[in-house]
């Protein structure tokens, strides 16, 4: 208690020096508060982006290994095709096996299947034109009966002959293919999803429902079609279309149109095709496609899996695990980690700048405080000599000087934290404002993409929800104050270290002799 009382007396007795120290700490703490606010804001933005765009992995054909295998033995074109046909396609069972992993937070997969359709016209810039030509050929023949008198009653005025005419019609059909030489025809493609969260094209805004909605019944034969296909065939919400098995025309399936969507991607630069890539894309659910596959085992769907990886450290581990579980060498696992890092590179640079600025501020502040403490110790050498002479131990004396600085530091930190918090709020707001606005609008836009107009209803589309008030308050919350307090104590210890060393080296008798 004596040490604390003596420390407080020394603070009030040396007001000028302690005010100077306080001003320096206020500046340092204010700068640190702003810097910590920038770091906190940067972390929030990066985290929000990663929540919206998690690390995903997909399985695709490894074309490089495939071509090395096909071209290695100088195989003929027929042998290459046969070899390719022998490569097993990914099955649902394999995908479920790969998806059962400690390195994943979730996974999903979509089905796609080429189909035909009855009584609707494919959206294509190619067509087959059939023309019919009818020609008539007339044949004239002249007859003269034998022993027939010429002229007079009962005779033939023309000398005993008569003519007959015969007409024959010939119909010729000619088939002519009129096509776009720059593009190839495409068949209807049936895409199946398991749930709303799997439909990333709608979540990302690539597709938007303009009529009707996407049914939440993922077991019935409902579908949505493109705006182009609907316009071309004069289809509307509520109509039915007949899907036809490509291998067996007797297998037909009635699908009810619940919505019409449009593609928002820019295809204007593609001058080789009349329609967008999604024109013949009919979107339904996985169970509807499975029913078609059940009735024809010869059909082969394309199953496209997407695996959501927990964190960066799990990327390579998951790839190795998939290979261990039996993924063919003809396939490879790819991810979007590089894309995410590139997208958040600018805000990460802001975070790095803030961290660098924080370190520089602490180093300069620590050096300045250490110098002031050294000067303070030299000015109070006689006081140190007296206290040591009357029996005060070195560690108690060092503790007293440290307490003096700590008290000044805590008071200054409180003032500096207030100044820094006031300055950091607009900084954090400016950094977070666009993210808050974009996330709010994006969540509403996603609902609109699904044809959901009730914006009050809550849906989880995997998009980070940023609460404006909570995030602004988080800039000056207990965590930031705790960090400031920790930095203040660190500065106190570092700057007091020199004074403690000096006190330990001082000899009280020498100090008193110098004074006398």
pLDDT value for 37: 78
pLDDT value for 488: 80
290 vs 287: CA distance, rounded Å: 5
Q: Are residues 270 and 170 part of one domain?
A: no
Q: Are residues 357 and 426 part of one domain?
A: yes
The DSSP call for residue 168 is E
Last residue of a domain, one of 285, 304, 336: 336
Contacts of residue 194, defined as CB under 8 A and 6 or more positions apart, other chains included, come to 108, 109, 110, 218, 285, 286
Give the length of the chain. Answer: 516
Last residue of a domain, one of 298, 314, 336: 336
pLDDT value for 469: 33
Q: Please give the chain's pLDDT, 516 residues, in tens.
A: 667 777 777 777 777 777 888 888 888 888 888 888 778 777 777 787 777 788 999 998 888 887 877 776 676 777 777 777 777 888 899 999 999 999 999 999 999 988 888 878 777 655 455 566 777 776 666 655 555 555 545 554 555 555 666 666 676 666 554 434 333 334 689 999 999 988 988 988 889 999 999 999 999 999 999 999 999 999 999 999 999 988 888 899 999 999 999 998 765 456 667 788 888 999 999 999 999 999 988 888 889 999 999 998 999 999 999 999 999 888 999 998 888 887 777 677 777 887 888 888 888 888 888 888 778 777 777 777 777 777 777 777 778 778 878 888 888 888 888 887 777 767 666 655 555 565 566 666 666 777 766 655 555 554 434 333 344 344 556 777 788 788 888 877 777 776 677 666 666 666 666 655
Last residue of a domain, one of 314, 336, 358: 336
pLDDT value for 441: 64
108 vs 195: CA distance, rounded Å: 9
Domain carrying residue 132: 127-178
Q: Are residues 174 and 187 part of one domain?
A: no
Residue owning tokens 């940023």: 466
- Three-state SS letters, 240-257: EEEEECCCCCCCEEEEEE
Q: Are residues 260 and 239 part of one domain?
A: yes
Handedness of CA 17, 22, 27, 28 (dihedral sign): positive
Q: Are residues 477 and 420 part of one domain?
A: yes
pLDDT value for 167: 66
Q: Are residues 321 and 173 part of one domain?
A: no
489 vs 99: CA distance, rounded Å: 48
Beta bridge partners of 332: 60
Q: Would you give the distance in Å from CA 494 to the centre of its chain?
A: 45
Q: Interhelix angle for 345-379 vs 15-52, to 10°?
A: 160
Torsion of CA 455, 459, 460, 463, to 10 degrees: -10
pLDDT value for 510: 64
Q: Are residues 328 and 270 part of one domain?
A: yes
Q: Is 185 strand, coil or helix? A: coil
Per DSSP (E only), the strands in 24-126 are: 56-61, 104-118
Report the 10 Å Cβ neighbour count for 315. Answer: 18
Q: Are residues 430 and 358 part of one domain?
A: yes
330 vs 69: CA distance, rounded Å: 9
H or E element in which residue 190 lies: strand 188-193
pLDDT value for 237: 95
Tokens of 260: 């019409």
Q: Interhelix angle for 478-505 vs 345-379, to 10°?
A: 30
Tokens of 302: 């394309």
Query: What DSSP line would sit under 193-253, residue for residue?
Result: ESSGGG-HHHHTTSEEEEEE---S-SSSSEEEEEHHHHHHHT--TT-EEEEE-SS-TT-EE
pLDDT value for 180: 40
Q: Where are the alpha helices (DSSP H) in 53-181?
A: 63-72, 77-86, 92-99
pLDDT value for 512: 62
Contacts of residue 174, defined as CB under 8 A and 6 or more positions apart, other chains included, come to 130, 131, 132, 133
pLDDT value for 13: 75
Report the DSSP pairing between strands 252-263 and 222-226: parallel
Beta bridge partners of 118: 242
pLDDT value for 227: 93
Closest CA to 416 of 144, 30, 107: 30
The CA distances from residue 5 to 78, 391, 405, 495, in Å, are: 97, 18, 14, 22
Q: Are residues 329 and 456 part of one domain?
A: no
Q: Are residues 444 and 310 part of one domain?
A: no
Q: Are residues 71 and 37 part of one domain?
A: no
The number of domains in the chain is 3
367 vs 498: CA distance, rounded Å: 10
Q: Are residues 255 and 155 part of one domain?
A: no
**Under a CB-based contact definition with an 8 Å cutoff, are residues 295 and 251 in contact?**
yes
Closest CA to 255 of 267, 244, 268: 244
Tokens of 443: 């969540």
415 vs 404: CA distance, rounded Å: 17
**Under a CB-based contact definition with an 8 Å cutoff, are residues 103 and 317 in contact?**
yes
For residue 55, report the phi and psi dihedrals to the nearest 5 degrees: -70, 120
342 vs 50: CA distance, rounded Å: 12
């Amino acid at each position: 208690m004596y040490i604390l009382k003596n420390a407080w007396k020394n603070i009030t007795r040396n007001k000028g020096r302690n005010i100077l120290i306080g001003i320096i700490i206020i500046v340092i703490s204010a700068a640190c508060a702003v810097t910590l606010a920038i770091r906190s804001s940067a972390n929030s933005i990066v985290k929000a982006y990663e929540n919206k765009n998690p690390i995903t992995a997909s399985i695709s054909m490894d074309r490089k290994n495939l071509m090395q295998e096909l071209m290695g033995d100088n195989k003929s074109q027929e042998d290459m095709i046969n070899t390719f046909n022998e490569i097993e396609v990914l099955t649902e069972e394999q995908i479920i096996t790969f998806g059962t992993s400690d390195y994943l937070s979730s996974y999903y997969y979509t089905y796609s299947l080429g189909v035909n359709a009855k009584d609707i016209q494919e959206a294509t810039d190619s067509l087959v034109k059939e023309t019919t030509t009818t020609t008539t050929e007339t044949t004239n023949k002249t007859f003269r009966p034998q022993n027939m008198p010429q002229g007079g009653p009962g005779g033939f005025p023309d000398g005993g002959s008569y003519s007959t005419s015969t007409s024959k019609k010939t119909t010729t059909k000619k088939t002519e293919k009129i096509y776009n030489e720059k593009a190839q025809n495409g068949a209807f493609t049936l895409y199946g999803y398991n749930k709303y969260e799997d439909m990333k094209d709608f979540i990302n805004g690539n597709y938007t429902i303009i009529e009707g909605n996407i049914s939440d019944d993922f077991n019935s034969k409902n579908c949505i079609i493109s705006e182009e296909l609907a316009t071309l065939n004069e289809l509307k919400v509520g109509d039915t279309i007949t899907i036809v098995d490509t291998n067996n025309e007797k297998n037909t399936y009635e699908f009810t149109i619940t919505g019409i969507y449009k593609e928002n991607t820019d295809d204007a630069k593609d001058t080789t095709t009349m329609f967008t890539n999604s024109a013949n894309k009919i979107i339904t659910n996985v169970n509807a496609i499975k029913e078609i596959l059940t009735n024809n085992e010869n059909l082969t769907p394309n199953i496209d899996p997407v695996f959501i990886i927990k964190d960066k450290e799990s990327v390579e581990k998951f790839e190795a695990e998939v290979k261990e579980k039996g993924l063919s060498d003809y396939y490879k696992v790819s991810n979007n980690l590089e894309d995410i890092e590139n997208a958040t590179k600018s805000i990460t640079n802001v975070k790095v700048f803030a961290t660098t600025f924080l370190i520089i501020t602490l180093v300069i502040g620590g050096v300045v405080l250490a110098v002031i403490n050294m000067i303070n110790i030299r000015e109070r050498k006689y006081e140190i000599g007296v206290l040591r002479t009357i029996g005060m131990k070195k560690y108690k004396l060092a503790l007293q000087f440290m307490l003096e600085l700590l008290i000044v530091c805590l008071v200054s930190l409180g003032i500096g934290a207030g100044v820094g918090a006031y300055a950091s709020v607009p900084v954090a707001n400016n950094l977070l404002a666009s993210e808050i606005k974009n996330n709010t609008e994006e969540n509403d836009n996603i609902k609109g993409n699904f044809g959901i107009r009730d914006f009050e209803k809550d849906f989880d589309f995997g998009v980070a929800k940023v609460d404006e008030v909570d995030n602004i308050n988080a800039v000056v919350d207990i965590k930031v104050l705790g960090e400031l307090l920790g930095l203040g104590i660190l500065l106190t210890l570092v700057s007091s270290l020199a004074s403690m060393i000096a006190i330990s080296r001082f000899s009280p008798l020498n100090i008193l002799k110098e004074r006398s």
